[in-house]
A and B are shown apart, each in its own frame.
Chain A
Amino acid sequence: MLRIEGVAKSFGTFRAVDGVSLDIKAGEFFALLGPSGCGKTTLLRMLAGFEAPDEGRILLGGKDIAQALPHERPINMMFQNYALFPHLSVRDNIAFGLKRAGMARAEIATRVAEMIALVKLDGLEKRKPDQLSGGQRQRVALARALARRPQLLLLDEPLAALDKKLRESTQGELMELQRRLGMTFIIVTHDQEEAMTMASRIGVMKSGKLAQVAPPRELYEAPRSRWIAEFVGDINLFDGESKLRDGHRLVIGTRDAGALVVAEPREPVGAGRFAVAIRPEKVKLSRRGPVSEAGRETAINRLDGVIADICYLGGTTTYKVKLDTGGVLQASVANSARIDVDAYSLNQHVVAWFTPDDCVVLQS
């Protein structure tokens, strides 16, 4: 539905967006994720029409809209600070775009009522934006952007201004709404958890380029580069020094964690820097290592160490294990019992183990 082809935008000598190509399907909930200054907002603003790309095309339903003005596009945007018109009531804010579209009065009234019901703002129609709470304002902004039934809705950090609890419930509501309306949403966020929760696909941006486009699970479990692995979630990384093929497995020698056996990656590991990556929750801890035969079979990576740091997070506890080989390994353990007499304590000797399939080999 939306096709971005080689879009680039510079501000002075700074290339904010540097040759981005992307296809977005109808009905998709797509997230643009990246640290601040990576160009995600600039890309979104080019979709909305507030910036014109220097290069490339933006095709919406086959038509190039790259140079069209904002009001000529069937796209609406929800602004980060909501940008509600302070001199207009909730109702007039929502009706604003409909009036510009030349809709009949009666039809506007019906549509506004529909929108107000949709975002559950009943009874607040006459209020001004400054008489609303943050969450209510966010709903007005959403209703206003949805009222024109755009083909594409852009959301610029829509939940950044809300507190954690409200943010989580609003995430759910946004997803519900998107499914129900079958509309295409593109959200910009720097919050990877938010992107993971809501989006069906995530595009990670770094210095103006798309580093990886993948569904959340693939992004997390099979990051394409070291940078993405570190940006999305926590990860243990061990720089590789040598590699040795062993059937359909690789044995990689690392300085900090000794020899690690990993499943052979889909793409062959070439020359240059590479690392073995393991997510903390994939690491198991025990006092004596895996006991069962099956366990011994698969748990080929077995590292001895001492608990160096304990970070209790409620649902999980993150242990930092100082390995005998020199490195530090993070292990995240679920606190599945309320009273755990077996919890590890500082300076305790432990065995950390994980399977070859839990490791990813990352290049660069």
Chain B
Amino acid sequence: MRKASRLTRFNVASLALGLAFLYLPILILVLYSFNASRLVTVWGGWSLRWYRELFNDRAMIEAAWMSLRVAVASATIATLLGTLAAVALSRGERFRGRTLFSGMLYAPLVMPEVITGLSLLLLFVALNAERGFWTVTMAHTTLTMCFVAVVVQSRLGSLDRSLEEAAMDLGCNPVRAFVAVTLPLIAPAIVAGWMLAFTLSLDDLVIASFTTGPGSATLPIRIYSEVRLGVKPEINAICTLVIALIAVVIVIASLASKLSSSQGESAAPL
């Protein structure tokens, strides 16, 4: 049985310092988004002024909307493709060049973003594609698909193959066996992969700035270009909203996974 280990003074201190290092900057940012003063570093009392101003800033709102759309679209496509790739790599027959294929799939994980972005830009220019929503979405799909594939493949790898065999033994053809047994069991990994792809896309600056066109800036691009002219408290406000969104997504994700894993326990008679 697990024993509650006692926290020593040293543990508490290192924990506090670690948390402070991670979250203090964010906390300050959130705090200053409610600042009444125009100066970013001077506290002028509580106010929602910058949020009002933010909602009147059409360009910022449009960039946020663009980012959200790109994130949802690219995460969805990447999840679909990444899951298929993971299934093919861990469940398919051994085909020639499988190692090469899986290596190539994971290349974007370690490839510097600048290179990915630049090569995609060259591709889009060569294809004479109009750069905007779809080019950014495609670029982000390329980037995030491998993350989804890694997450889903590790789950598939830990899954007992005899479960699928049992399903087939009990009357499922291979496709039905996958849908009835494998898919529900890897669903948490697929959801996690989607969340990962979503957040990766939402905060990507490098690839987006290479592949986007005029008039379709994503939120990170917009914030970056604003900040170059000096930090406005409005930026703090939009960042706070993004943090809130991500926090909500994470809470929902962990609640969902907790619910799905403890479903049985609540149904069992005590």
Interface, chain A (partner B; CB < 8 A) = 48-50, 69-71, 75-77, 79-81, 83-87, 89, 96-97, 100-101, 123, 126-128, 130-131, 144-145, 148
Which of B165, B171, B181, B265 is within 8 Å of A101, CB to CB? B171
Q: Is the CB of B172 within 8 A of A83?
A: no
Instruction: Tell me whether A127 and B268 are in contact in the complex, defined as CB-CB below 8 angstroms, given that A83-B163, A87-B185 are known contacts.
Output: yes
Q: Which residues of A contact B162 (CB under 8 A)?
A: 79-81, 83
Question: From residue A166, how far is it (CB to closest CB) to chain B in Å?
Answer: 22
B contact residues, range = 20 to 34
| Cβ-defined contact, A128 with B264, below 8 A | yes
The distance in angstroms between the C-alpha atoms of A101 and B169, with both chains bound, is 12
B254 at the interface (CB under 8 A from A): no
Say yes or no: A71 contacts B169, CB within 8 Å: yes
Q: Is B5 positioned at the interface, with any CB of A under 8 Å from its CB?
A: no
The smallest C-beta distance from A129 to any residue of chain B, in angstroms, reads 8
Cβ contact within 8 Å between B172 and A126: no
CB-based contact A128/B168 at 8 Å: no
Q: B169 touching A96 by the CB < 8 A rule?
A: no
Do residues B176 and A100 form an inter-chain contact, with CB atoms below 8 A?
yes
Given A126-B267, A130-B264: A97 and B184 interface contact (C-beta under 8 Å): no
Q: Is the CB of A85 within 8 A of B166?
A: yes
| Bound CA span A76–B167, Å | 10
For A81, A86, A144, the residue with the greatest tally of chain B CB atoms inside 10 Å of its CB is A86
Interface centre among B167, B168, B180, B269, by most chain A C-beta atoms within 10 angstroms, is B168
CB distance from B22 to the nearest CB of A (A): 34
Q: Which residue of A lies closest to B180 (CB)?
A: A96
A-B contact pairs, 20 of them (CB 8 A): A48-B165, A48-B169, A69-B173, A70-B165, A71-B170, A71-B172, A76-B169, A77-B166, A79-B162, A79-B166, A84-B166, A85-B167, A87-B185, A96-B170, A96-B180, A97-B170, A126-B267, A126-B268, A131-B264, A144-B170
With a 10 A CB-CB cut-off, give which of A70, A75, A80 has the most chain B CB atoms: A70
Q: Are B185 and A86 within 8 A (Cβ)?
A: yes
Besides A85-B181, A148-B170, 4 more A-B contacts (Cβ < 8 Å) are A71-B171, A77-B165, A89-B267, A97-B171
The answer to whether A77 touches B169, judged by C-beta atoms less than 8 angstroms apart, is yes
In the complex, which residues of chain A have a beta carbon less than 8 angstroms from the beta carbon of B170? 71, 76, 96-97, 100, 144, 148
The interface residues of chain B lying within 8 Å CB-to-CB of A130 are 264
Shortest 4 CB-CB distances between A and B: which pairs? Answer: A128-B264, A97-B170, A100-B171, A83-B166
Interface residue? B263 (CB, 8 A): yes
Cβ-Cβ contact count across A and B, 8 Å cutoff: 77
Is B160 interfacial (CB-CB < 8 Å)?
A: yes
Known: A126-B268, A131-B264. A87 touches B184 (CB 8 A): yes
Q: Once the chains are docked, how many angstroms separate the CA of A75 from the CA of B170?
A: 9
Chain B 208-230: CB-based contact to A (< 8 A → 1; otherwise 0): 00000000000000000000000
Q: How far is the CB of A186 from chain B (nearest CB, A)?
A: 14
A84 to B184, CA, bound (A): 14
Chain B residues positioned under 8 Å from A50 (CB to CB): 165, 168
Which residues on the B side are within 8 Å of A86 (C-beta)? 163, 185
Contacting residues of chain B (17-72) with chain A, CB-CB under 8 angstroms: none
- Distance to closest chain A CB from B257 (angstroms): 13
Most chain A beta carbons < 10 A, residue from B167, B171, B176, B265: B171
Closest B residue to A48 using CB positions: B169
CB closest residue in chain A, given B181: A85
Chain B stretch 241-270: residues in CB contact (< 8 A) with chain A: 263-265, 267-269
The distance in angstroms between the C-alpha atoms of A73 and B263, with both chains bound, is: 34
Structural contact, B172 and A127, CB atoms closer than 8 A: no
Measured CA separation A130–B267 after assembly (Å): 13
CB closest chain-B residue, reference A141: B166
Asked whether A85 and B165 contact (CB < 8 A) given A76-B170, A100-B170, A126-B267, the answer is no
Given A69-B173, A86-B185, A87-B185, answer yes or no on A126-B269 (Cβ-Cβ < 8 Å): yes
Q: A75–B165 Cα gap in the complex (Å)?
A: 13
Q: Whole-angstrom distance from the CB of B251 to the nearest CB of chain A? A: 23
Q: Name B168's contact: one of A71, A80, A81, A89 (CB within 8 Å).
A: A71
